[in-house]
Amino acid sequence: MRLALDEAARAPLTGDVPVGAVVLAEDGTVLATGHNERELTGDPTGHAEVLALRRASAARGSWRLTGCTLVVTLEPCTMCAGALVLSRVDRVVYGARDEKAGAAGSLWDVVRDRRLNHRPEVIHGVLEEECARQLTAFFRDSRGGTGESPGEGPRNGLPGR
């Protein structure tokens, strides 16, 4: 998770929300990393998880990431949860919950939906306070000191992506 936090810290340099992700091979080797790049690239799919999964697939030479673990600082959204299921990762480890958009147990539970053909193990709350603090600080600094998204109330401490 510390590597994912380091990766997340790179995102604000381009105006992106600090979310970082790391894909680990079965033996713990880092296959790929990613951080949010939506603002940098103008790509709505430029979430840390999607970028890390793409890079890990390229490194492996296969879209199937069976045996791999994705570690991410913020609970995946529905898009990212779908990508995790489709990539066949074995495990998802995340730090901070996202009560407004989380799809790994908070708002939805896409990754463990029994109707889908693959359900990765989910481990949550790893360095949760540190992950949440990084996000809250970003939104506080970028949105006039409230730590909230424009036009929204508090998000259980997390303003979202």
Decide if 82 is inside a domain. yes
| Active-site residue identified among 7, 26, 37, 49 | 49
Whether 121 sits among the annotated catalytic residues: the reply is no
Decide if 101 is inside a domain. yes
Residue type, 40: L
pTM over the 0.85 mark: yes
Indicate the annotated binding residues for Zn(2+).
Answer: 47, 77, 80
Say which CATH number the domain at 94 has: 3.40.140.10
Please give the chain's pLDDT, 161 residues, in tens: 999 999 999 999 999 999 999 999 999 999 999 999 999 999 999 999 999 999 999 999 999 999 999 999 999 999 999 999 999 999 999 999 999 999 999 999 999 999 999 999 999 999 999 999 999 999 998 866 544 443 333 334 454 55
CB 80 within 8 A of CB 54: no
Decide if 67 is inside a domain. yes
Q: Where are the beta strands (DSSP E) in 86-132?
A: 91-96, 121-124
Decide if 155 is inside a domain. no
Decide if 146 is inside a domain. no
Number of separate domains in the chain: 1
Can you give the residue range of the structural domain that contains 17?
1-138
